[in-house]
Amino acid sequence: MPELFESPELTEIPVANSGEELPPRDELPNPSLRVKLLTLTAILLPLAGVAAAPFFVWGWGFGWTDMGLLIGMYVLTALGITVGFHRLFVHRSFETYMWNKFFWAVFGSMAVQGSLFLWVGMHRRHHQHSDTPDDPHTPHHHGSGLAGLIRGFWHAHIGWFFEPNPPHLERYVKDLGGSRSLRVANALFPLWIALGLVLPAVLGGVITLSWAGAWTGLIWGGFVRVFLVHHMTWSINSACHLWGFRPFRSADESRNNVIFGILGMGEGWHNTHHAFPTSARHGLRWWQIDASYWVIRFMALCGLAWNLKLPSKEAQARERRLA
């Protein structure tokens, strides 16, 4: 049976010393040119694939195989982020076998959003400082008016990638660093990126028995899929801290957004998540689609997951906003 937790606070997630002396943003070292170029490539290459795809494949290069690869790779890698990187590794919302953790680390890495330790460390810091100036990707504190809103949205969505990483991120992932398997999964991040692109290309070629099928498989199951998963995830940082509903009390501006609740595999029920951060289920109402929780629940039914954490009805009632 799922474990019911009573406290909505983030009590089990390793965080850096809250009293640490943080250097001002303008005194942090600038990222190297290599880091800037790699970041820019990770953002623009999938976008270039989306822009080029219609010219190369329209009318002949997109069929059922390509659609299957696009949807299949999207679901696999998006769940790698939502179930694996987020609910399993960041928040420890459930427990599973180490071999299963390794696979989830691989699937999440194939989404091309950073290595396991970097992603987890950044997200744990986000929760520790949510929507304060020390939050790595808050859309707030960027000025007032429309210009401030646009600057904040850009920063939360993409702009924060180009800023120096916050200091002492390694303090947030000491628990993960204690596992040799997870250290290996983290170190092989470039290999998992390549696998996420090669796999749909190979499948496309094998299924269609053609080089054209391999090429369109790379485009749709590779570049286009990365682009879509990127913007789905980034929208949780930006849109879900600006637009939506706040049914629960939280010390930030997180919001439930129906669109990204669906497209984001349940991650868009973001206010609920910030109210109950260690919950394995984000869509607590029957109508709130949460595909990530369905996967976790299915694993539990198969004996592959246990100690699922869910907020009790009493805890939900205590944290519900009255207005």
Please choose, from the candidates 108, 106, 100, 113, the residue with its C-alpha nearest in 3D space to the C-alpha of residue 81: 108
Residue 322 clears pLDDT 80, i.e. is over it = no
Half-sphere exposure at residue 113, Cβ-oriented, CA atoms within 13 angstroms: 33
Local confidence band at 145 (pLDDT 50, 70, 90 cut-offs): confident
Mean pLDDT of the chain: 88
pLDDT more than 70, % of the chain: 85
**Least-confidence region, from 40-54, 148-162, 169-183:** 40-54
Residue 9 clears pLDDT 50, i.e. is over it = no
The predicted structure's pLDDT at residue 321: 83
The predicted structure's pLDDT at residue 38: 66
Q: How far apart are CA 187 and CA 180, in angstroms?
A: 10
Distance from chain centroid for Cα 315? 26
Q: Six-digit token pair at 213? A: 């099928």
In tens, the pLDDT along 198-223 reads 999 999 999 999 999 999 999 999 99
In tens, the pLDDT along 165-193 reads 888 899 999 999 999 999 999 999 999 99
Residue 3 clears pLDDT 60, i.e. is over it = no
* Residue type at 311 in one-letter notation: P
The helix/strand/coil state of 95 is strand
The predicted structure's pLDDT at residue 262: 94
The predicted structure's pLDDT at residue 14: 60
